[in-house]
Amino acid sequence: MATVVFAKAFRRHVECPDELVTGSSLREVMEGYFVMHPGTRSYVLDELGAVRKHVTVFLNSNQISDRRHLTDALGPNDTVHVFQALSGG
Amino acid sequence: MLAASPATTLLVGTRKGLFDFDASGTTPHIRALHFAGAPCSAVLADPRDGTWYAALDHGHFGCKLHRSDDRGATWQEVATPAYPADASDDASGDATTQLLWCLEAGHPEQPGTLWCGTIPGGLFRSDDRGESWSLVRSLWDRPERKEWFGGGFDLPGLHSISVDPRGPGRMAIGVSCGGAWRTTDDGATWELSTGMSADFMPPDRQLDDAIQDPHRVVRCSTDPDVLWTQHHNGIFRSTDDCRTWQRIETAPVSSFGFALAVHPTDGDTAWFVPAEVDEVRIPVDGRMIVNRTSDGGATFTTTRDGLPQQHAYHLVYRHGLDVDGSGQRLAMASTTGSMWCSNDGGEQFQSITDHLPPVACVRWC
């Protein structure tokens, strides 16, 4: 179980409220979030399922380590922060 | 064939959104800005049903496609062309959509069919007005694609889609850098055109048809065997439906450029926006011009009237020039945010604005 929080920059384009989502890995949690809000998937992941080049994902205060497969493990009180990377133009 | 009535709307895709110009009078003016702040890489006003489509290139969030059934009053995000996992290979690496570079309506007998050209070079088809898309594998899986390379971008890009009005399933496409191709069986098979030449290749590869850089490929709507190409190394014309190309050597000032427009009812008439070659890419001597031929390229007329003639450093991208269905109204806009229009087939231009964001595409409707 983790809380998923999107940065304000996403909210201009797609509905992405904070949600409490079940899962023990980042992949499980994000897939759960995408079921709740299907429009958000393509804003976060590319078509191969990797985190977009100009999106950053933090697990609590640290950037995730696996942007391709999202295997980072999550604990019950963790928070996933999804930001726009400052590289993104 | 009678020419269509003059267009009354002009859509302009820019680095900071899609501008809707009211062009019902002689001087277009801005009516609305859509998607403020988001780069708009391609726009289509479907002549079959009036639907508008806008391709966005969010720097952070990837490419997106939006559709409007009420001329921009409301927009709905629809599906974005996306590469299947098995499209990745050694040539393309991880194939993902980098840019929606052109959007075209399908043949009138295929309502709902849309075509989209992308970077890294894939052609996509939708048969449901953009609700879903599929990669045209017959082109993507051609062995020649592994020879393609980027022109202006890191990866190859499909920028021109020219549907043949003579019947559904006939189409030509242009790729930088991957040549010009045609299909007559609705994309089941593809034929690579021949006749262009590339100075940017080693001597024994310059005539290789599969690596040519046609910056833009445009067909004459009512004389569909005639297509024109503004190539990286000059102007070419085809009179046999994109099978072969002949070089046109007569353009004055410069034959380098990106944009071209073809008269909708006269395949001998076309317009070009020259720039100083290759390494420079600004108007020659800082003077903005448009070259027009009305005799199939035998001769050209250079228009300067209404265009800046000193210290002008505009570049007009591939889709930055368009002619309307009447063949009389031209619009042209630059990377430095200026736009000019002509109401007399390019005899003279008038400045519309100098204050747009960098312009990717203009389109009459």
ipTM: 0.80
CB of B327 closer than 8 Å to CB of B316: no
A48 and chain B: CB distance < 8 Å anywhere? yes
Contact A42 B64 (CB under 8 A): yes
A17 inside domain: yes
A86 and chain B: CB distance < 8 Å anywhere? no
CA–CA separation, B332 and B219 (whole Å): 18
Tokens of B53: 């489509």
Q: To the nearest 10°, report the CA torsion of A31, A36, A41, A44.
A: -80
Nearest C-alpha in B relative to A49: B85
CB B192: neighbour CB atoms within 10 A? 17
Mutate to test the interface with A, among B61, B75, B92 (most CBs of A within 10 A): B61
User: How many CB contacts within 8 angstroms connect chain A with chain B?
Assistant: 46
Contact A52 B62 (CB under 8 A): yes
A12 inside domain: yes
Residue numbers in A near B97 (CB within 8 A): 46-47
Least confident of A22-31, A35-44, B81-90, B304-313: B81-90
- Nearest residue, CB atoms, A42 vs list B59, B80, B88: B80
A55 and chain B: CB distance < 8 Å anywhere? yes
Sheet holding B52-58, edge to edge: B40-45, B52-58, B62-68, B76-78
Total number of domains constituting chain A: 1
A64 inside domain: yes
A38 and chain B: CB distance < 8 Å anywhere? no
Contact A43 B61 (CB under 8 A): yes
A89 inside domain: no
Residue numbers in A near B64 (CB within 8 A): 13, 42
Sheet holding B9-14, edge to edge: B29-34, B17-22, B9-14, B359-364
What does the pLDDT average to over A34-47? 96
A21 inside domain: yes
Contact B83 A47 (CB under 8 A): yes
CB B208: neighbour CB atoms within 10 A? 18
Written as tens digits, the pLDDT of chain B (365 aa) is 556 889 999 999 999 999 999 999 999 999 999 999 999 999 999 999 999 999 999 989 999 999 999 999 999 999 999 999 999 887 767 899 999 999 999 999 999 999 999 999 999 999 999 999 999 999 999 999 999 999 888 899 999 999 999 989 999 999 999 999 999 999 999 999 999 999 888 888 999 999 999 999 999 999 999 999 999 999 999 999 999 999 999 999 999 999 999 999 999 999 999 999 887 899 999 999 999 999 999 999 999 999 999 999 999 999 999 999 999 999 999 999 999 999 999 999 999 999 999 999 999 99
Contact B60 A13 (CB under 8 A): no
Half-sphere exposure of B194 (CA within 13 A, CB side): 3
Residue numbers in B near A14 (CB within 8 A): 77
**pLDDT for B2:** 55
Tokens of B278: 């290759």
**pLDDT for A85:** 86
Contact B59 A52 (CB under 8 A): no
> For the domain that residue A50 is a member of, what is the CATH number?
3.10.20.30
Q: Which residues contact B21 (CB under 8 A, 6 or more apart)?
A: B9, B10, B11, B12, B28, B29, B30, B31, B352
CB of B220 closer than 8 Å to CB of B263: yes
User: Which residue range forms the structural domain that includes residue A43?
Assistant: 2-84
Answer left, alpha or beta for residue B183, where phi above 0 means left and psi between -120 and 50 means alpha: beta
Report the alpha-carbon angle B342-B346-B351, nearest 5.
35
Residues of chain B with a CB closer than 8 angstroms to some CB in chain A: 58-62, 64, 77, 80, 82-85, 88, 94, 96-97
Contact B83 A39 (CB under 8 A): no
**pLDDT for B135:** 98
Q: How far is B62 from chain A (nearest CA, A)?
A: 6
Contact B64 A89 (CB under 8 A): no
**pLDDT for A66:** 95
Select from B301, B309, B291 the least CA-distant residue to B351: B309
Instruction: Give the helix ranges, DSSP H, for A40-89.
Output: 41-44
- Nearest residue, CB atoms, B61 vs list A47, A48, A52: A52
Contact B62 A46 (CB under 8 A): yes
**pLDDT for B3:** 63
Bridge pairing between strands B62-68 and B246-248 = unpaired
A35 inside domain: yes
Which residues does residue B10 pair with via DSSP β-bridges, in sequence order?
B21, B364
- Nearest residue, CB atoms, B96 vs list A10, A48, A55: A48
A39 inside domain: yes
Mutate to test the interface with B, among A47, A67, A69 (most CBs of B within 10 A): A47
